[in-house]
Amino acid sequence: MKYKHIVVVKRGPPENLRIEECDLREPAAREARIKVLACGVCQPDIQNRYGLSPFSPKVPYEPGCAIVGVVDEIGAGVRRAVRGARVAAYPAFGGYAEYIYLPESRLVPVPSSLDPVEAAPVVLNYLTAYQCLHRRARVKAGDKVLIIGASGGCGTAFLDLGRLAELKMYGLASGSKSSVLTQFGAIPIDYRKEDFVDVMRRVEPDGLDFIFDGMGGDYINRAFPLLRRGGVLVEYANPGSLRATLRLLARSLVRNLVPDGGKLKGYGAGFSLIYRKPFLDDWAILFRLLAEAKIRPVISGRFPLLEGGRANALLESGQVVGNLVLVAPSLLS
């Protein structure tokens, strides 16, 4: 029996995604075979395809970093996964597929009542926002924050969770996307028409408590002076290369040595592959919040599971508000 998956055959545009077939094998020991129900289309998918990441895999490879599915079969020694159970995972690669094989230790339980399409953005985008807010920054009600890149998948997750945490939020987005910011109670700043530095200095002259930057580049240097004394800038944007990553680490060390000055902290969801417990704890919290309807991901597009190229092209266009999700045929009918 065969199954289909998407492969990046060479670096470059979405046209370099190809649908290929594989043999459907039995799971190995301590491994589960997952039938993919939904897979988020995320910025790391784009960055890896162009090789714009310190950890981009060699081509050919299978993209897709955040999935929700159902356990289809289990291998010998599997104890915590049962056939038919709804699960999520952050495999980093391989999610654009009808099936994926994963160690049972990588699987996260998902309430069966949840819509897999809404659950998919929780796996990476909401996890990133939650951990930046509550683990790296430790925000509290009333804190004043700026979200750089507020209209995308991660940005809208920050808005949703920031609303829940009762933060005073400002967000950078183009004017055409400002309505999603106001929907979550944030004050939009149109970066195409306004200098956000001038705006923030005028409306928050005492400085911001926290800045969350998902754009990178010169935004760090421009935004950092907007912090109050003791404020924190959390950088979660992909640095783009190993050299840029080391430069960010060095900059963090220098910034953080200044007594009572602003602090610079980095964040990467890739640590979930090493340090499991905090990530498992936070996924459980987020899925509970989704089940209780306390959070609601913005879904702007659903695509058939094997139309990853079309979804990638739309994400690259810069027109997307919120999340794009690849969906199994059974959920589209």
CATH assignment of 141-266? 3.40.50.720
Q: What mean pLDDT value characterizes the chain?
A: 93
* Cβ atoms of 297 and 323 closer than 8 Å: yes
Record the tokens describing residue 173, joined without a space.
Answer: 């987005």
Name the more confident of 333 and 294.
Answer: 294
The answer on pLDDT for 317 being more than 80 is yes
| Spatial contact of 166 and 134, defined as CB atoms under 8 Å apart | no
**Which amino acid is it at 166?**
E
* Sheet strands (E) in the chain: 2-8, 17-23, 31-41, 67-74, 86-89, 99-103, 108-109, 144-148, 168-173, 187-190, 208-213, 227-235, 263-266, 299-304, 323-327
Q: What angle do CA 12, 16, 22 make, to 5 degrees?
A: 140
259-273 tens-digit pLDDT: 666 899 999 887 665
User: Can you give the pTM of this predicted structure?
Assistant: 0.94
Architecture of domain 2-122+271-332 in this structure: Alpha-Beta Complex (3.90)
**Interior CA angle at 326 toward 322 and 332, to 5°?**
105
Reported as a pLDDT band with limits 50, 70 and 90, residue 252 is: low
pLDDT in tens, 56-95: 899 999 999 999 999 999 999 999 999 999 999 999 999 9
Q: Which residues share a beta bridge with 189?
A: 172
pLDDT of residue 272: 61
- Using DSSP's 3-state secondary structure scheme, residue 309 falls into helix
Question: What is the share, in percent, of the chain residues with pLDDT greater than 70?
Answer: 92
Flag the least confident range among 119-123, 180-184, 243-247. 243-247
Output the pLDDT for position 269. Answer: 84
Please identify which residue in the block is written with the tokens 């990530």: 279
Domain parsing of the chain, residue ranges: 2-122+271-332, 141-266
Q: Is 53 exposed, middle or buried (0-12, 13-18, 19+ CB in 10 A)?
A: buried
Q: What is the pLDDT of residues 19-56, one digit of tens each?
A: 999 999 999 999 999 999 999 999 999 999 999 988 88
Strand partners, 25: none
State residue 69 phi and psi, 5-degree precision. -155, -165
